């Protein structure tokens, strides 16, 4: 079985729609889909986009080989042989625009735009959402942890608790983008060039007659990488004194012990006592690592208690996004080819948040030239020129259109950049370290009120007036879709005043 190939990593209904398009002769009609999410995770004020590298690799490798075709042949749908023969030639030939990985992103802003034959665009929905939803979620969780400990070293320790192997390695990568310094996962290190770090487990201590013997043997084996786990028996009575003996032994060899690790008990108290004991011995260079079910809230709390922790090992709660296990990113059709032109399409819903924004669109980050700070994100139809020309624009809240402001003297940064054209990559993707640096740089653009962990201010995301009017006109074209009739609703209702 070729478990590596991800072509059938899709929902069956995508294949069925492909088949129906093939039967009806509409498979080559082009369509435009957008990926976006509606609600920020963890009550955070922003999210961190990740997943693009995997999307690009996936699209480049899409093939139906013998195994996939044999499996499709077995299905109860009874797909025609001519359809299967066509799949053998299948390649992704469309266009992808996306926000660069590491970008700080907000609800309802397109993160990626796929322009492709319906035949291709359907197949890829499931995998694209799978990659982007998970990796963006973990990058966002990691960014929250980073904000709780901006000046400390952060180690990703989650593999053993991750939802299987892919989540472990791609989650480690997402955490690194958001500012973690290293991972314990060696495969993630090998695959992506993430720095790797490791201490030792309780089992190493338990496998020896005494803790001191265990520490000494470890230090003899890896004298330049010694971080000793001191809580197997009694942290302050045994673990610390034993570790101090080893630090002395290493000093006699002209070496310096890296650190100790605390993995249980009151981490504030124990780290303070450990720091005192180490400093009393002149071992102020020995760093203190802590682990044990940490997350941004516990780290923040430990810091407020005066914990003396230099390095945080964070596993389970990061890699599983413990407090919110999924991001609800969606992939929605916004335009379809009809008689050689793109026609905007909408999805109506009784829930105003679920009414889609129709049309082939662009997205910009509007940055004030006066303050250097982002004023909001601005979504336009693709043929609008006002924003590109730097004309005065109106930012208004689509749910409460009377809340608005005019902006001039701004830089409009296009958020969606070309990634794939005609099925081929446009330029190379940035290296991981460049993505991480770009991410860190992004924070400069935002006022702190959007970034705080608790009850952040809501950043403005606006539709242009044209995009808004298009949406209204499509909403009202649907029978029964008026306020008060039939239950379907849309954002606002009245046009924004000019
Ligand atoms: N001073 C502290 N303030 C707040 N939370 C803390 C503090 N010290 C430790 N914690 C956190 O409390 C949680 C539970 O710690 P608890 O004391 O139950 O673990 P433990 O029993 O010491 O560890 P283990 O079960 O691994 O032996 C962990 O998430 C840990 O990170
Ligand atoms: O706590 P996390 O954030 O997930 O970090 C990873 C944990 O993995 C190891 O524990 P281990 O597998 O030995 O389990 P235990 O310490 O919970 O008993 C390590 O000692 C950390 O406690
Ligand atoms: O290196 C460590 O200390 C480590 C790695 C993975 C999980 N827990 C701890």
DSSP secondary structure, 199-262, as one string? ---HHHHHTSSSHHHHHHHHHHHSTTS-EEE--SS-IIIIIHHHHHHHHHHHHHTT----EEEE
What band does 98 get if pLDDT is binned at 50, 70 and 90? Answer: very high
Q: How far is the centre of ligand 1, averaged over its atoms, from the C-alpha of 228 (Å)?
A: 19
pTM assigned to the model: 0.96
What pLDDT does 88 receive?
A: 98
pLDDT (tens digit per residue) in 389-404: 999 999 988 778 888 9
What band does 4 get if pLDDT is binned at 50, 70 and 90? Answer: confident
What pLDDT does 478 receive?
A: 83
Q: Is the CB of 303 under 6 A from ligand 1?
A: no
**Residue 151 and residue 125: Cα distance in Å, rounded?**
39
Percent of the chain clearing pLDDT 70 (strictly above): 95
Task: Quote the mean pLDDT of the chain.
Answer: 95
**3 state SS of 67:** helix
> Tokens 């890296």 appear where?
258
Give, as one character, the DSSP assignment of residue 403.
S
345-372 mean pLDDT: 95
What band does 1 get if pLDDT is binned at 50, 70 and 90? Answer: low
Q: Is the CB of 294 under 6 A from ligand 2?
A: yes
Compute the Cα dihedral for 158, 159, 162, 168 and give only its sign: positive
Q: Is the CB of 292 under 6 A from ligand 2?
A: yes
pLDDT higher than threshold 80 for residue 221: yes
pLDDT (tens digit per residue) in 147-195: 999 999 999 999 999 999 999 999 999 999 999 999 999 999 999 999 9
Q: How far is the centre of ligand 2, averaged over its atoms, from the C-alpha of 436 (Å)?
A: 26
Q: How far is the centre of ligand 2, averaged over its atoms, from the C-alpha of 146 (Å)?
A: 20
Q: How far is the centre of ligand 2, averaged over its atoms, from the C-alpha of 264 (Å)?
A: 9
CB contact at 8 A, 450 and 46 = yes
Q: Is the CB of 185 under 6 A from ligand 3?
A: no
What pLDDT does 371 receive?
A: 98
**Residue 353 and residue 324: Cα distance in Å, rounded?**
20
What pLDDT does 498 receive?
A: 37
What band does 3 get if pLDDT is binned at 50, 70 and 90? Answer: low
Which residues are within 8 A (CB) of 411 and not within 5 positions of it... i.e. 6 or more apart? 366, 367, 369
Which residues are within 8 A (CB) of 430 and not within 5 positions of it... i.e. 6 or more apart? 100, 101, 438
Ligand nearest to the CA of 232: 1
- Radius of gyration, CA atoms only, the chain: 27
**Residue 489 and residue 388: Cα distance in Å, rounded?**
32
Ligand 1 pocket test, candidate residues 264, 273, 300, most atoms within 8 A of CB: 264
Ligand nearest to the CA of 311: 3
Atom of ligand 2 nearest to the CA of 315: 3
Taking phi first (over 0 means left), then psi (-120 to 50 degrees means alpha), and beta for anything else, what does residue 108 get?
left
Nearest CA to ligand 1 atom 5: 298
CB contact at 8 A, 122 and 18 = yes
What band does 480 get if pLDDT is binned at 50, 70 and 90? Answer: low
CB contact at 8 A, 405 and 491 = no
Q: Is the CB of 290 under 6 A from ligand 1?
A: no
What are the chain's domains?
12-139+325-491 (3.20.140.10), 149-319 (3.20.20.70)
Q: How far is the centre of ligand 2, averaged over its atoms, from the C-alpha of 356 (Å)?
A: 43
457-470 mean pLDDT: 96
291-303 mean pLDDT: 98
What pLDDT does 487 receive?
A: 41
What band does 479 get if pLDDT is binned at 50, 70 and 90? Answer: low
Contacts 24+ apart (CB under 8 A), 488-493: 488/348, 488/349, 488/350, 488/355, 489/349, 489/350, 489/351, 489/352, 489/355, 490/348, 490/352, 490/355, 491/352, 491/353, 491/355, 491/398, 491/399, 492/398, 492/399, 492/400, 492/401, 492/468
Q: Is the CB of 270 under 6 A from ligand 1?
A: no
Ligand 3 pocket test, candidate residues 315, 318, 319, most atoms within 8 A of CB: 315
Q: How far is the centre of ligand 3, averaged over its atoms, from the C-alpha of 305 (Å)?
A: 24
**Residue 286 and residue 260: Cα distance in Å, rounded?**
7
**3 state SS of 468:** helix
What pLDDT does 82 receive?
A: 98
Nearest CA to ligand 1 atom 18: 265
User: Residue ranges of the alpha helices (H) in 25-110?
Assistant: 52-61, 66-73, 81-88
pLDDT higher than threshold 60 for residue 497: no
Give the tokens for residue 93: 């030939």
Q: Is the CB of 468 under 6 A from ligand 2?
A: no
- Three-class SS string for 93-111? CCEEEECCCCCEECCCCCC
Q: Is the CB of 316 under 6 A from ligand 3?
A: no
CB contact at 8 A, 162 and 137 = no
By CB neighbour count within 10 A (0-12 exposed, 13-18 middle, 19+ buried), where does 26 fall? middle
Q: Is the CB of 264 under 6 A from ligand 2?
A: no
Q: Is the CB of 203 under 6 A from ligand 2?
A: no
């Amino acid at each position: 079985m070729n478990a590596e190939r991800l072509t059938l990593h899709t929902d069956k209904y995508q294949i069925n729609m492909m088949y129906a398009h093939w039967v009806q002769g509409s498979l080559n009609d082009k369509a435009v889909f957008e990926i976006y999410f509606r609600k920020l995770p963890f009550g955070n004020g922003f999210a961190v986009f990740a997943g693009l590298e995997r999307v690009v690799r996936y699209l480049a490798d899409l093939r139906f080989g013998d195994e996939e075709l044999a499996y499709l042949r077995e299905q109860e749908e009874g797909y025609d042989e001519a359809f299967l023969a066509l799949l053998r030639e299948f390649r992704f030939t469309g266009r992808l625009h996306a926000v660069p990985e590491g970008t700080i992103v907000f609800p309802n802003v397109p993160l990626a735009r796929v322009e492709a034959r319906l035949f291709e665009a359907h197949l890829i929905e499931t995998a694209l959402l799978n990659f982007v939803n998970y990796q963006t979620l973990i990058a966002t969780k990691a960014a929250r942890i980073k904000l709780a400990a901006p000046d400390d070293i952060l180690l990703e320790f989650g593999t053993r608790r991750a939802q299987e192997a892919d989540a472990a390695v791609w989650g480690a990568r997402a955490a690194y983008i958001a500012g973690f310094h290293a991972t314990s996962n060696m495969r993630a290190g090998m695959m992506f060039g993430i720095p790797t770090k490791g201490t030792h487990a309780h089992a190493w201590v338990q496998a020896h007659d005494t803790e001191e013997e265990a520490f000494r043997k470890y230090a003899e084996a890896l004298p330049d990488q010694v971080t000793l786990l001191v809580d197997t028996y009694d942290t302050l009575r045994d673990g610390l004194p034993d570790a101090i003996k080893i630090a002395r032994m290493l000093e006699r060899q002209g070496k310096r012990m890296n650190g100790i690790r605390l993995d249980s008990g009151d981490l504030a108290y124990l780290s303070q006592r450990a720091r005192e004991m180490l400093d009393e011995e002149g071992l102020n260079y020995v760093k203190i690592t802590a682990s044990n079910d940490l997350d941004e809230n516990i780290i923040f709390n430990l810091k407020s208690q005066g914990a003396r922790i230099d390095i945080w090992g964070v596993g389970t709660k990061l890699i599983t996004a413990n407090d919110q296990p999924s991001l609800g990113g969606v992939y929605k059709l916004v335009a379809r080819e009809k008689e050689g032109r793109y026609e905007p399409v909408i999805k109506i819903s009784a829930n105003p948040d679920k009414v889609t924004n129709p049309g082939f669109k662009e997205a910009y980050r509007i940055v004030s030239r006066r303050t250097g700070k982002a004023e909001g994100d601005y979504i336009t139809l693709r043929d609008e020129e006002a924003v590109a020309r730097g004309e005065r624009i109106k930012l208004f809240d689509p749910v409460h259109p009377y809340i608005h402001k005019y902006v001039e003297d701004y830089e409009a940064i296009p958020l969606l950049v070309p990634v794939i054209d005609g099925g081929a990559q446009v330029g190379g993707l940035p290296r991981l370290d460049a993505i991480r640096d770009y991410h860190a740089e992004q924070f400069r653009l935002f006022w702190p009120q959007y970034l705080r962990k608790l009850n952040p201010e809501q950043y403005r995301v606006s539709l242009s007036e044209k995009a808004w009017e298009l949406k209204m006109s499509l909403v009202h074209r649907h029978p029964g879709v008026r306020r008060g009739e039939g239950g379907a609703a849309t954002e606002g209702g009245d046009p924004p005043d000019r």
